[in-house]
């Protein structure tokens, strides 16, 4: 995680989102971002309006950074350009060095370090120059516009953190807790803990997309924050809300249906999706080297079964265990 210096006694907003919850192939990715805002009247719902000079949620607008649900900016077969240019523009605000390669992005922005990646053959020796599809000149321009726009508004993007649950860890944790939903919630809340507990004093508002049909998060929150008494403010189908901590370090978290319509979670969704797609780029490149005619996969169940059947003979030849290839849920 890269973090810029914070300022004490200001409100903070955290957004999280995931990519890769449903597939059988590739990692589960959860991203979190931290925004510093100048005053408490800056709610998550108002951010698009207050930052309209440098940010938009309209994907047809090429003049500003587009922070919207990643599914709007990236569709399979249409390339990574729009997703990548916005991700790397935002990355430039928290990283002192430009992201020049796949390896540098994964080393600096994710929790899946080089040693952990080396345990999986598709990541071990993989590398590509960045940007993959976008133009560096446009990335630089968008990044500078975002930087100056946030500065003008008295706001700042202070941290971006991407947690990657690779297949071996995913399978181990599902075996321990019994469901991938528990893995998603636990990983998200530990990410929230990491991002929020390192902040200076001040109110922190945390936004998460709802985790499937789950409405009740109190047991999970109390497990991750055992030293705090977590208060249930509301639990329902559209939103579940909780808070904890003393007034000078109050934390309030919302799990909202379609939460990525809000800017903080929308930006997190871009990082989760980009990281997941670059992971699948490495995965597919490895198998296409072994089987040049094989069609790439996004890893979702129906196509994953096709892909698994087609690589079966080579997988056996290379002695690649299912435990590191195939997610159990």
What tens digit of pLDDT does each residue of 117-143 get? Answer: 999 999 999 999 999 999 999 999 999
251-260: average pLDDT: 93
Domain extent at residue 106:
2-283
23-38: average pLDDT: 97
Query: Is residue 306 included in any domain, yes or no?
Result: no
205-213: average pLDDT: 92
Query: Is residue 304 included in any domain, yes or no?
Result: no
Which range among 6-15, 261-270, 299-308, 314-323 shows the weakest confidence by mean pLDDT? 6-15
Phi, psi (degrees; rounded to nearest 5) at 199: -80, 155
Query: Is residue 116 included in any domain, yes or no?
Result: yes
Query: Is residue 113 included in any domain, yes or no?
Result: yes
Query: Could you tell me the pLDDT band of residue 75, with boundaries at 50, 70 and 90?
Result: confident
pLDDT above 70 (res 86): yes
CA–CA separation, 58 vs 52, rounded Å? 11
Burial bucket for residue 234 (CB in 10 Å: 0-12, 13-18, 19+): exposed
C-beta of residue 73 within 8 angstroms of C-beta of residue 270 = yes
Looking at the DSSP bridge assignments, the partners of residue 19 are 29
pLDDT above 70 (res 1): no
Query: Is residue 119 included in any domain, yes or no?
Result: yes
Query: Could you tell me the pLDDT band of residue 10, with boundaries at 50, 70 and 90?
Result: low
Token pair recorded at residue 269: 């969704």
- CATH number of the domain that 110 lies in? 3.30.420.10
The domain total for the chain is 1
Inter-residue long-range contacts of 132-136, CB under 8 Å, 24+ positions, other chains counted:
132/80, 132/84, 132/102, 132/278, 132/281, 133/79, 133/80, 133/81, 133/84, 134/80, 134/81, 134/82, 134/84, 134/85, 134/88, 135/85
C-beta of residue 176 within 8 angstroms of C-beta of residue 289 = no
| Percentage of the chain lying above the pLDDT 70 cut | 97
Which range among 13-27, 70-84, 164-178, 267-281 shows the weakest confidence by mean pLDDT? 70-84
Q: State the residue for tokens 């790439």.
A: 296
pLDDT above 70 (res 183): yes
Query: Is residue 17 included in any domain, yes or no?
Result: yes
Residue among 3, 15, 11, 10 nearest 206 (CA):
15
pLDDT above 80 (res 64): yes
104-110: average pLDDT: 97
Question: Over the chain, what is the mean pLDDT?
Answer: 94
First CA to last CA across the chain, in angstroms? 28
Query: Is residue 308 included in any domain, yes or no?
Result: no
Query: Is residue 329 included in any domain, yes or no?
Result: no
Residue among 128, 75, 140, 120 nearest 103 (CA):
128
Alpha helices (H) in the chain, listed in sequence order: 47-50, 70-73, 81-91, 102-109, 114-117, 121-124, 136-153, 167-177, 180-197, 218-224, 263-290, 301-317, 322-325
Q: State the residue for tokens 């809300």.
A: 241
What per-residue confidence (pLDDT) applies to 9?
A: 45
Residue among 34, 43, 17, 309 nearest 163 (CA):
17
What per-residue confidence (pLDDT) applies to 40?
A: 78
* pLDDT, tens digit, 9 for 90 and up, residues 272-291: 999 999 999 999 999 999 99
Cβ neighbors of 117 (< 8 A, separation 6 or more) are 106, 123, 124, 166
* pLDDT, tens digit, 9 for 90 and up, residues 210-225: 998 899 999 999 999 9
């Amino acid at each position: 995680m890269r973090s810029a210096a914070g300022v004490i006694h200001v409100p903070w907003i955290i957004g999280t989102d995931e990519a890769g919850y449903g597939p059988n192939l590739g990692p589960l990715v959860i991203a979190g971002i931290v925004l510093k805002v100048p005053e408490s009247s800056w709610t998550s719902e108002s951010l698009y309006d207050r930052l309209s000079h440098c940010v938009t949620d309209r994907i047809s607008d090429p003049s500003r950074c587009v922070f919207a649900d990643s599914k709007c900016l990236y569709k399979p077969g249409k390339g990574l350009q729009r997703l990548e240019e916005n991700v790397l523009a935002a990355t430039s605000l928290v990283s002192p060095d430009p992201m020049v390669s796949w390896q540098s992005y994964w080393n600096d922005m994710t929790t899946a370090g080089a040693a952990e990646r080396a345990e999986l053959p598709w990541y071990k020796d993989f590398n590509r120059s960045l940007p993959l599809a976008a133009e560096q000149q446009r990335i630089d321009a968008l990044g500078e516009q975002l930087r100056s726009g946030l500065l003008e508004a008295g706001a700042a993007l202070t941290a971006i953190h991407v947690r990657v649950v690779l297949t071996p860890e995913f399978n181990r944790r599902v075996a321990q807790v019994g469901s991938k939903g528990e893995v998603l919630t636990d990983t998200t809340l530990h990410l929230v803990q990491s991002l929020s507990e390192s902040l200076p004093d001040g109110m922190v508002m945390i936004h998460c997309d709802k985790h499937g049909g789950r409405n009740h998060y109190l047991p999970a929150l109390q497990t991750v924050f055992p030293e705090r008494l977590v208060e249930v403010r509301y639990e329902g189908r559209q939103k579940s809300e909780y808070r904890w901590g003393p007034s000078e370090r109050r934390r309030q978290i919302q799990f909202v249906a379609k939460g990525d319509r809000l800017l903080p979670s929308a930006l997190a969704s871009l990082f989760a999706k980009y990281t997941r797609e670059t992971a699948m780029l490495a995965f597919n490149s490895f198998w296409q080297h072994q089987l040049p005619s094989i069609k790439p996969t996004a890893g979702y169940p129906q196509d994953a079964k096709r892909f698994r059947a087609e690589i079966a003979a080579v997988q056996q030849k290379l002695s690649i265990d299912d435990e590191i290839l195939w997610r159990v849920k």
